[in-house]
Amino acid sequence: MRHIPEEPEAQGAPPRVPRQRSTGAVPTSADVARRAGVSRATVSYVLNNATAVRISEPTRRRVREAARELGYVPHAAARSLRAGQSRMVLMPAPGAPVGALYHRFFHDLQWALSRLDYTVVQYGSAGLTGDEAALAWAELRPVAVVAPGIHELGPAGVAVLKRSGARAVITVGPCPVEGAHALLTDHGEVGRCAAEHLLARGRRRLGVVMPEQPALAVYARARLAGVRAAAARVGAEVTELPLAYEETAAARLAADWPERGVDGVFAYSDEYAMLLMAALQDRGIRVPADTAVVGVDDLMLGRLLRPRLTTVRMDLPSAQELAELVDRTVRHPGTSPTVRDLLGVTLVARESS
Amino acid sequence: MRHIPEEPEAQGAPPRVPRQRSTGAVPTSADVARRAGVSRATVSYVLNNATAVRISEPTRRRVREAARELGYVPHAAARSLRAGQSRMVLMPAPGAPVGALYHRFFHDLQWALSRLDYTVVQYGSAGLTGDEAALAWAELRPVAVVAPGIHELGPAGVAVLKRSGARAVITVGPCPVEGAHALLTDHGEVGRCAAEHLLARGRRRLGVVMPEQPALAVYARARLAGVRAAAARVGAEVTELPLAYEETAAARLAADWPERGVDGVFAYSDEYAMLLMAALQDRGIRVPADTAVVGVDDLMLGRLLRPRLTTVRMDLPSAQELAELVDRTVRHPGTSPTVRDLLGVTLVARESS
């Protein structure tokens, strides 16, 4: 795969260099400069497409050829040390499997940021949480951090990141974090939307599935609060239904169903709804005749259930908008943190309610 | 969140520095040295826990306090430039939503590598593929690259990475890549395992779902080859069933079902199996009486279907083993690339077959 350099023809040609470089040595811009017979500054101007400096086309060509022949790759870290600022946007890797919704959002955000000349890396903070994780991120000197979820980052972590050169720290989650821009995703709205639908269908004894996975607790509580608020307005009952994501747990819950007298369930997500519906149907409990079921996420699997699952679709913040907020904040880091509510919700009514 | 420095008490105390540093300036080890009244080398020895150098406990304490007070965070890039080698392991971010299986694998790998003192970042190569992506990765100067899947990396990309200082390049996927260590995941085994099960149950007209998502084509073809090989041994028929991941496409396929005369389906994945089963059942085709169905992945949803879904469980390479391979290769980069087959398969028989 190595290019074999040809003999230079032009006058003022570069000094000859050995054809085979010693293995293991990484070509630097100094190597490119030597081979092309120019200064390192010229190499830098040419390879960064700097237009402010007049450099002849033959010289530009010679530099590009030398870079290609040597297999020279710019060093992001060295460049960021010289510039005093990186172009790296760091996102913590999600702590749980991501659904198609989040994946799409991340892909779009990456794409939008790459068009603004940022490099996006996801940092796997295995075993680190909160401000310890922020310290580890800070070592990479990202110019911006976009942190979805709430477990990763507190005010101390935000301060560490800013001291380490991060010009933009943006959280995406249910609560703002001191010192950071916050894009709020108010999950109370998700519960409210589902509950209002069940109430409109005449259900008055609502169950709310509370997943036992700790990572979901903060969302579950916010959604429960939304259900409670909607139920309180018409005097409906609300029962919490703790549930592990396991068949046996769902079977136990279904066995107690008649004595609970729940006639409408907000099932936290489409996946929990599927788990619960299978258990209810195994016990002969009819959906929706005996109990209506509503999920969240509008996953494909909800359309494949029988009855088809009613669900709440969340409209995440636009990746383009978020990328522009990152860029604006990097360029004007002095602006004080903003808090914006960006989660929209839509009820998708199907057969299960 | 900034620590307010206290008045130094000890003799030989550091020179006073302003309480409030100018905003935006990132504290460096030189700042720490100045505040602690020691040399930069001493700061480096203390903060890197170098034991070869004798430094008194009070001095160590002074350096650590100065670092904490200033909010000093080591700079991974600067450190790697000094050391001539980073501790960064780069993994391309998956190009499609990841399932629980991959997520678990990634989490375990991160964890195993962090215990070996590596930092794992996932690189979002939005819009870049193959060797272009490798060039972008190379700019971060990772010491190792672990690339799952096959679309990202070819021999030229491997060469670029190695020239840029990557000491270990490891692919995980169905085919080896020249110049890289390869952990093979032979998806032919997946198809073979499913087909042998269907054949053992007396099915002789096998259908194979071929997902129309381009990212899945390489796996689908490998699995199909496995089905064909198993079927050929007993003279069974094999029919390819192209299918988009959409309800309407599945309904069309189910409408043609009787004329196809398929009595056993290898459905590519549990998710495609769920899509197909819903469509078959809507047309009154009985599973497994008329057609047996086998998925892949052993997802929770397969256990929630009625009939419960038979599936092929894949046992991915052990994260611990992979982390050790990374570390071994980084320490001995001269070893020639190895190719190892690491995918185990197990049939999980349930009610759908």
pLDDT (tens digit, 9 = 90+) per residue, B5-32? 333 333 343 334 333 343 446 778 888 9
Identify whether B307 is preceded by a cis peptide bond (ω within 30 of 0).
yes
Beta-ladder partners of A145: A90, A169
Contact A98 B99 (CB under 8 A): no
More confident residue, A125 or B261: B261
Residue B285 confidence (pLDDT) above 90: yes
The pLDDT value recorded for residue A84 is: 64
Contact A103 B96 (CB under 8 A): yes
Give the list of residues 6+ apart from residue A82 with CB closer than 8 angstroms, or none: none
The pLDDT value recorded for residue A13 is: 39
pLDDT (tens digit, 9 = 90+) per residue, B293-349? 999 999 899 999 999 999 999 887 788 888 999 999 999 887 778 777 777 899 999
Task: Report the residue of B2, B105, B115, B121 to disrupt the A interface, i.e. the one with the largest count of A CBs within 10 Å.
Answer: B121
The owner of tokens 């819009």 is B127
Contact B1 A80 (CB under 8 A): no
Are A182 and A148 a contacting pair, CB within 8 Å?
no
Strands A119-123 and B119-123: antiparallel
The span from the CA of A65 to the CA of A57, in Å, is: 12
Q: According to the 3-state scheme, what is the secondary structure of chain A?
A: CCCCCCCCCCCCCCCCCCCCCCCCCCCCHHHHHHHHCCCHHHHHHHHCCCCCCCCCHHHHHHHHHHHHHHCCCCCHHHHHHHHCCCCEEEEECCCCCCCHHHHHHHHHHHHHHHHCCCEEEEECCCCCCHHHHHHHHHCCCCCEEEEECCCCCCHHHHHHHHHCCCCEEEEEECCCCCCCEEEECCCHHHHHHHHHHHHHCCCCEEEEEEECCHHHHHHHHHHHHHHHHHHHHHCCEEEEEEECCCHHHHHHHHHCHHHHCCCEEECCCHHHHHHHHHHHHHCCCCCCCCCEEEEECCCHHHHHCCCCCEEEEEECCCHHHHHHHHHHHHHCCCCCCCEEECCEEEEECCCCC
Distance of CA A157 to the CA centre of its chain: 18
pLDDT (tens digit, 9 = 90+) per residue, A210-259? 999 887 888 899 999 999 999 999 999 999 999 999 999 999 999 999 99
Q: Sorting pLDDT into bands at 50, 70 and 90, what band is B152?
A: low
Question: Which range has the top average pLDDT, A45-49, A194-198, B317-321?
Answer: A194-198
The pLDDT value recorded for residue B1 is: 36
| B245 Cβ under 8 Å from any chain A Cβ | yes
Instruction: Give chain B's radius of gyration (CA, Å).
Output: 28
Single out the residue of A117, A12, A1 nearest to residue B139, CA to CA: A117
Burial pattern B65-92, b for ≥16 Cβ within 10 A else e, equals bbbebbbbbbbbbbbbbeeebbbbbbbb
The owner of tokens 């702590």 is A95
At B111, list the tokens.
Answer: 């964890």
% of chain A residues with pLDDT over 70: 84
CA distance to partner chain A, nearest, from residue B30 (Å): 14
The span from the CA of B344 to the CA of B230, in Å, is: 17
Which residues of chain B have a CB within 8 Å of the CB of A121? 121-124, 140
SS3 at position B160: helix
Single out the residue of A83, A120, A26 nearest to residue A326, CA to CA: A120
- Name the average pLDDT for chain B: 84
Task: Report the residue of B2, B70, B73, B146 to disrupt the A interface, i.e. the one with the largest count of A CBs within 10 Å.
Answer: B73
The span from the CA of B295 to the CA of B194, in Å, is: 8
Nearest CA in chain B to A277: B304
pLDDT (tens digit, 9 = 90+) per residue, B44-96? 778 776 666 788 889 989 998 998 888 787 777 666 666 666 788 998 877 66
The span from the CA of A22 to the CA of A19, in Å, is: 10
Ramachandran assignment for A271, one of left (phi > 0), alpha (psi -120 to 50 degrees), beta (any other): alpha
The span from the CA of A265 to the CA of A257, in Å, is: 11
Which of A97-106, A294-303, B127-136 comes out lowest in average pLDDT? A97-106
Half-sphere exposure of B270 (CA within 13 A, CB side): 25
Q: Sorting pLDDT into bands at 50, 70 and 90, what band is A333?
A: confident
Q: Looking at this predicted complex, what is its ipTM?
A: 0.74
Residue A7 confidence (pLDDT) above 60: no
For range A103-119, the mean pLDDT: 84
Cβ-nearest to A93 among B122, B140, B278: B122
Are B312 and B189 a contacting pair, CB within 8 Å?
no
Which of A34-43, B121-130, B274-283 comes out lowest in average pLDDT? B121-130
Helix (H) or strand (E) holding B31: helix B29-36
Ramachandran assignment for B344, one of left (phi > 0), alpha (psi -120 to 50 degrees), beta (any other): beta
Q: Sorting pLDDT into bands at 50, 70 and 90, what band is B139?
A: confident
Domains (ranges, CATH) in chain B?
9-74 (1.10.260.40), 86-185+317-344 (3.40.50.2300), 188-315 (3.40.50.2300)
Number of Cβ within a 10 Å radius of residue A37: 17
The owner of tokens 């030398």 is A66
Q: Sorting pLDDT into bands at 50, 70 and 90, what band is B218?
A: confident
The pLDDT value recorded for residue B150 is: 59
Chain B contacts in chain A segment 2-61 (CB below 8 A): 2, 24, 26-27
Distance of CA A62 to the CA centre of its chain: 42
Number of H helices, E strands in chain B: 14, 12
Q: Sorting pLDDT into bands at 50, 70 and 90, what band is B176?
A: confident
Are B297 and B314 a contacting pair, CB within 8 Å?
yes
For range A122-127, the mean pLDDT: 73
Ramachandran assignment for B175, one of left (phi > 0), alpha (psi -120 to 50 degrees), beta (any other): beta
Single out the residue of A125, A106, A86, A102 nearest to residue A297, CA to CA: A102
Strands A168-173 and A264-266: unpaired
Cβ-nearest to B303 among A107, A247, A333: A247
Q: Sorting pLDDT into bands at 50, 70 and 90, what band is A74?
A: confident
For range B198-202, the mean pLDDT: 98
